[in-house]
Structure 1
Amino acid sequence: DFISVPDAPEALDATEVTATSFRANWMPVAGAASYKLDVYSLNVESDFEDLIISEYIEGSSNNKALEIYNGTGATVNLADYALQLFSNGATSPSHNINLSGSLSHGDVYVMAHSSAHADILAVADYLNAYAISFNGNDALAIYNTNTSQYVDIFGVIGDDPGTAWTAEAAYSTMDRTLLRKPEIHSGIIQNPGGTGASAFSTLATEWNMYDTDTFTDLGEHSISRSSISYVAGYRNLDVGNVNSFVVQGLEPNTDYYYVLRAVNNNGHSENSNVIEVFTGVISAPTIQARQIEAAITGNTISLAWTPGNGAGRIVVMNTQNYFNTPADGSDPVANPIYSGSGQQVIYNGATQIIEDAPFNGVVVEGLQPNTGYHFRVFEYNGFAANTMYLSSTATGNPALFTTLSGSFSGYYEDIDGYGATLKAELHELLRVTHATQYSYDALWTQLNYTDEDPDNSNNIIQIYTGWSIPKSSNGGGVTQWNREHTWSKSHGDFGEGRPAGTDLHHMRPCDATVNSAKGNKDFDEGGTLYVDASPYPGFSGNTGNYSTTSTWEPRDEDKGDVARMIMYMALRYEGTDTSYDLEIVDYTNTAPDNEPYYGKLSTLLAWHDQDPPDAWELRRNQRIAERQGNRNPFVDHPEFAYMLWTPYPLGATGVSANSFTATWAEPLVGHAYILQVATDSLFSTFVPGYEEYNAGDSSALTIGGLAPGTSYYYRLRTVLQNGFSMFSPAYMVSTVSAQPQATTASISIENSSVRLEITAIPGLSAYRIYASDTPDGAYSDVSAEGTFDDTGWNCTVGDHPKRFYRVYGAWE
């Protein structure tokens, strides 16, 4: 069937209007494939800078004319200008007409073919049978001979478009009358780039088009005293096939306007009606964030809070319960790795949407065990220089949390270490707490509970598709669900028996045909999109999964879940209570003969890092623990993956003004370690030589050539067989200041001897003693009057029965 250009949509009033955004709305149009949106403000214009071409007539026979408009506010001497004609793609003028006379402000100068229609001749100021004989493929330009600059160009000089330049909605420079839009107040002074019929890029946006031989408006030109200023990013923006769109990044207290065009393969409609929107004045929010909550380890705190009514918020932490009120108009950069002291912004942003659910939280790293940290949230509206903060407190805001004396508690309280040690401890914990082992038939009942849809208790949610289907729709039918072994049972040949073949942590409901397509493939990225031929009614067959002959890439929402299930299996089954020892390897096609391997490690680690546990996965882990007894440690503590498979930073030793030795734990596998050292926690500026430093398989490295009194960050990743692990968490090290540093000392006096027992400053090699006879007097260096030993300084009282001392450490 023939599909025509769609009708113009009807724009509706904006909703959700704030000081910096609004939602544009419109009625859908039949036959539209998408919509294009313009958002703009109107600027009250002063006079034009120069002449413009205001009308172009390329009609039948010799009906050709060009109108020039003067909106400069003053009379113009036309002798300073020439009209140039560029025929058939010429780069130099085919005709050059030097103008003469004068043109008053607000008046037009009409140039026409001498044999044009009488209505054209009646308003013409200049007639020429040769120069004014242009066709639709000829460019025209007004040239200022004093400045040697173009003041307006029609078409594209040097481009032959064929018969005419064209644009959407049947725009053409052949057999058309074109009038400059009233809001256009300046000419095209730079020749447009590009070639071909579409190269005249402003044809549709700056000109109104009329039928052949339309002369009605020739001889006069109407202008608007306001010109359009498009909002950046919102000119001819394709917003897709929707009927509303949120426009953001606007200025407060400003009038904006929007129009739309419906689009399909045949072109676009005329503009819709214009909708005016006024953005309000930005004011501070009125409801502060509240109820800051935390999940705590020895060196991290995972915060969550209930937001107020601001557009965004910053979260500030400190080791003291003291917070400066943020300055209006400020937009601080957040860094969730704490520097160790003082106020620090750890979060700056709006509510996040993760897997279609709102999330307000941040994970703070770099903390010390058994240490109290204070947190406060400030709501704000606006952005950048327009930001307005709410300074009040609220219930549970601010909040104090103390890190644990050890890294873990509860179920994991006896767990510590890294690499092989950590793996052994976690394996033993998972094994001894795996209290209930189900039969394969019992899984029908158990999966109904563990994978129940939180929004519909009659349904389960399937792995790989996310489809919510009835619990009762299970079995082998093409639209039914069955029991998926995420770690395929052929990888180790454990079948459907206890414990691995029925372990709830990797057993998932799955569409029967999707399960068959996944088969026993390893996990990796790439392949062909898998479209299911028999989706459950109401769902699309586009699953978002990709497949090759040997690999399966799940949809993004399942990638982290899959990684954590596979990592759990590799910890739980070590051959201690089974005949199989499951291991993750960094290659694919891992089990041609039922080997107990699964791949691909580097990909799975990346998925774990990119897709952290969400509320659904946490709920499922808890429900499995209720039924089976053990837990998935990677869901509870995602950091275990870093502690097992990355060279985990242990700290720095030998810290001096110019160097430190970075140390790390040995991971489970790896041929070498890549070390990065940077001057910022975002790792955007590296210490020379340490952007991708190959540290071999060592567990420590001394980094030299550093600046005194400077914070540095280091992190590592493992070189695997066919890729890399994710990077470890970053560790911050501050080099010692080269300036003298004050320290304390205890003083003891015996007879005529004085001893200062000095409190050592880590990394310093020398101390200086300064003394004065009065507490507020001038202090002089008296170090040479006594002698230093390993822990202090000794001298005699001498002629100073009363003396005050100060002790400084300094590098020598």
Structure 2
Amino acid sequence: YGTQQTFTTNAIEIPVAVAASGIGSNAFTANWNAVAGATSYKLDVSTSPAFAPTTNLSDLIISEYVEGSSNNKVIELYNGTGTSVNLAAYSLKKQVNGAGAYAGELLLSGNLANGETYVIAHPSSVPAVIAVADETSSSQAINFNGNDAVALFKNGVQIDEVGFFNQSSNWGADVTLVRKPAVLSPSSTYNASEWTTFAQDTFSNLGAHSVNTTVTTLLPGYTNLTVNGTSQVVSGLTETTTYFYRVRAVSTNSTSGNSNIISVITKAEPATFGTITQVGVACSGGMAVFNVTGLLGGSTNEISYIINGEPDNTVVVLADVSGNASFEIPAYVSQNGLVLQVMSIERVDAASEVVSVGANNSVVLAIGELQNWYADADGDSYGDFNVAQSTCFQPAGYVLDMTDCNDADASVWQFGLFFVDQDADGYDNGEGLACYGETLPVGFSYTTSGADCDDTNAAIFQSFQFYTDVDNDSFGTGTLVDACAASATTAPTGYALNNTDCNDNNAAIFQSGQFFVDADADGYDNGSATVCYGTTVPAGYAATTLGSDCNDNNAAVHTQFEFFVDADLDGFGSTATALVCA
């Protein structure tokens, strides 16, 4: 055969990427020019033109802690936020011996450039520490021991911490702790796994700190994607976000370098609207609150609305992640019953079109005057004046009426002035207020036949004159007095028709009589006397007599006889005689 020859093929040309087409809120079409000899293409899509950017820290962090020998005490801060930070917003505090609140505040000052550290040391630290220190301080925040947690505060709010709060054991004695490079944000709760421990008096890391902030920004599914053609739809994107794409040509024996980079900004999703409702009843002079649903989650929107056909009004609302938002407008009772109608909605957080709203977009305004409402515990539609709420809408169990005289009984609710007639005899015991309902209350009357002297007995209603009868023996005494009775001939208890009682304190005796005095009851009298008695002759007296009694104390002796006088009692009398009771 002929002479063998060798040759080297040229690398396939780098394609030229061209502008994207079909740009929407979540997709676009990447385009590029064809390359001769290409069998396919490789497409990369990224959120960074570098296709591997750096992620900034969310805030300052405590990057190093030194609790060394003697006064070797150091706190190092690191700024990886991507911009210079004014330290005036920050301060350090410590907790003493793992107990109590953070205190001993050290206020910071100056500016800390991105990528730089700020070293704060105790002024009595060794020269190697002082040499790298940005500030020395005798503040309590730097004078710590192994059980004193130290925290970083921003505008008075704790954002970072080294050490266990409320733990008295020596978690950090005689060590140097350096924050690991993977930590990209401060934490208000100490996590020992975020720190690397070094021996006591290790100072070599002070003054510099490294973090791992390089991350890929290539979109999943669009990294080295094989495309058979000169265009590819890229979907699943985020609205109003800048994306970048590049392409490489592939042949049977080589792959080209990266093409030029094309940037694409996705469009904003148009505003959406679901419903509008009013929250309860608004008070006139206050604010009426409305809830809106169906918005794009997290979007800011301008809502245009009219009230009863009046000129357009606008309000800006911020939707939560679920697409819900609320807004408020001044409320006036003159608007009660009018219709608020949403006409259109437009996003103001991104350039987008105005969207007309035509469904579920109206609400009837409910606005009331501030009024006093009264409790209606018994549900009779009459309220209790003593239990009230001042509001512009009717609370449950309350009414506007305040006239209920008994809110515990639904059958009665109003006061009325009636004649008092407890015994229902038609005669009154004066007038009185009564709490009643639809019917006349018991014990009262609309009319009267006159005054009732005894309203507890229907048979008695007028007064007559009687004599006082204290002992109730039907015999009275004294002069006539008025007493309530059934009739003039029926004396009530304690009264009598006569005044003949000679002793009104003893019911057994009631009349006076003339009797013979007969104390020894021998039938002979010792004169006569007028005596108060009852139904029988009183003891010591007699209705009749056999004659005079010379000794009314001895029933055996009653007559006088003539005897000779025996002065010496010897049984022999003198010639003198005398009458003697014997």
What TM-score does the superposition give when structure 1 sets the normalisation length?
0.20
- Structure having greater relative contact order (Cα 8 Å, sep ≥ 6): 2
What TM-score does the superposition give when structure 2 sets the normalisation length?
0.28
